[in-house]
Amino acid sequence: MQTLKVEKLLINYKTLDEFKRFSEYGNQELSMLEDLQNNMIENNSDSPFYGIYYGNALVARMSLYKVSQKYDRYFEPPQDYVVLWKLEVLPDYRGKGFGKALVDYAKSYNLPIKTDPRINSHGFWEKMGFQKAKYDMERDLGENPLIWMPDGVQETEH
C-alpha cells in the first residue's frame, strides 16, 4: 500500500467539485460544501480542510480548527486544543487506513483533540484512543464529544 499523505486542501473550484463526490453518498450532515463555498466567498486562503488523494481522486477529508484556551469549554484546566470535524472516507476506501492517517495527522499537533462522532463511529474513535470527555453535562450542547489527550497532558474532573 502506498504511503498516505495528508494534504492541506486549497480553497478553489477543483476542491469544491471534489467535495461534491462525498455528499452524493447521502452524508449531508458531513458535507463541507457549504463551508467551502463560504470560505471562497470570503477569499479565505487559510484552509481548515485536509484530505488524502488516491491517484488524482480525493478519497478522505476532514476539517481541523485550533481553539484558544480562552474559548475552551471542554477541558479543565482550560487549554488550547484542536477540533477535528467532519472526517469522512468514501465507502470504497474505508478500512484501508485513510481515516487513521487523518487522525494521526491531527494528533501531530500534540494538542488535545475534541471530536463529535457520527452515529455508528464510536468503535473507530475508541481504536484511535479517544474517550468520553469528563466535564459538566451542561457544557455538552447535545454533542456527546470524545477527546484525545497527548501523552503527559491530563484532563482533570470538576
> What are the beta bridge partners of residue 65?
83
Nearest CA to 48 out of 101, 85, 16 is that of 85
Per-residue pLDDT at 14: 79
Give the number of other CB atoms < 10 A from CB of residue 116: 15
pLDDT tens, 18-48? Answer: 877 775 444 444 455 566 666 555 445 567 8
Q: Can you tell me the distance from the alpha carbon of 55 to that of 105, in angstroms, rounded to the nearest whole number?
A: 20
Q: Which residues contact 133 (CB under 8 A, 6 or more apart)?
A: 74, 75, 114, 145, 146, 147, 155
Joined grid coordinates for residue 82? 484542536
* Domains of the chain, residue spans: 6-148
- Going by pLDDT thresholds of 50, 70 and 90, the confidence category of residue 3 is confident
Please check whether residue 2 is in contact with residue 39, taking contact to mean a CB–CB distance below 8 angstroms.
no
Per-residue pLDDT at 158: 37
Query: For the whole model, what pTM was predicted?
Result: 0.79
Domain 6-148 = CATH 3.90.1150.170: no
Joined grid coordinates for residue 116? 463529535
Joined grid coordinates for residue 9? 486542501
Per-residue pLDDT at 120: 80
13 pLDDT exceeds 60? Answer: yes
